[in-house]
Amino acid sequence: MSPQSLTLTNELHQYIVDTGIREPQVLAELRARTAQHPQQRMLLSPEQGQLMSMLVKLLGARRTLDVGTFTGYSSTVVALALPDDGEVISCDVNEQDTTVAQEFWRRAGVESKVDLRLAPALGTLDGLIEDGESSTFDFSFIDADKGNYINYFQRSLELVRVGGVIAVDNTLWSGRVLEADPEHGTTVSIKAFNDYAHAEQRVELVMVPVGDGLTLARKIR
Ligand code: CA
């Protein structure tokens, strides 16, 4: 058997959460709040959040995109990692979820760094490109409707600078990417995105088996 990533048991995952990261209190509270949400499975795992925080700091990121706000975990974790003049443009269409996000941006003291765009994300991203903001972003996190993943990725590739990183969530989709002939449209979309990203020569990429699968793509040209 070739070396591969460990399959995490619940106990091993808990060990990582207890011993391998330090999740800020405000994020733990946001996690608790989102646990009551009917779609709480959409929440990032704490170690994935801390990986993204580390990545944003290592990149020296200042301008970032957040495609899919939900209750604000990813935008808060990124905003906390940014310098005081950092910026997160966070895109969503759901007023109710983003009200929770706004509360937690305030509680985390990052509300001045987050710019919520309550509109279809594709229009927001196209607007940024039209406004001449191509190659001005350092990081983009994509975690929204999977049918648009290729579109969000293409726009992010335009908006992120060379050397910047695009992180795409749920790319293992609970393992359903292995289905040869998937019935579910979301599985089809995620598989199509994974093939697209794999063939895209303007990025180097690594699919990280954290959370539900996180693909990191670094723009190289
Ligand atoms: Ca997700």
Q: What is d(CA 147, CA 152) in angstroms, rounded to the nearest whole number? A: 10
Which parts of 140-219 fold into alpha helices (H)?
149-159, 185-199
Give the CATH number of the domain where residue 82 resides: 3.40.50.150
Query: So what's the pLDDT on residue 1?
Result: 54
Report how far apart the first and last C-alpha atoms of the chain are (Å, whole number).
36
Q: For residue 188, give the amino acid letter.
A: V
Q: Which helix (H) or strand (E) holds 96?
A: helix 95-108
CA 42 to ligand 1 center in whole angstroms: 5
**How many C-alpha atoms does 137 have within 13 Å on its Cβ side?**
27
In a domain, 2, yes or no: no
Strand partners, 168: 142, 215
In a domain, 4, yes or no: no
Closest CA to 87 of 115, 117, 67: 115
In a domain, 3, yes or no: no
**DSSP-derived 3-state class of residue 39:** coil
In a domain, 72, yes or no: yes
Tens-digit pLDDT profile for residues 149-166: 999 999 999 999 999 999
In a domain, 169, yes or no: yes
In a domain, 49, yes or no: yes
In a domain, 56, yes or no: yes
CA 171 to ligand 1 center in whole angstroms: 9
Residues in the chain with pLDDT values less than 50: none
CA 50 to ligand 1 center in whole angstroms: 15
Output the CA torsion 175→177→180→182 (10° steps): 100
In a domain, 110, yes or no: yes
Q: What is d(CA 159, CA 193) in angstroms, rounded to the nearest whole number? A: 18
pTM (two decimals) = 0.96
Tens-digit pLDDT profile for residues 65-95: 999 999 999 999 999 999 999 999 999 999 9
Range of the domain at 52: 10-219
CA 44 to ligand 1 center in whole angstroms: 6
- What's the structural domain count of the chain? 1
Ion ligand 1: residue ranges with CB closer than 5 A? 143, 169-170
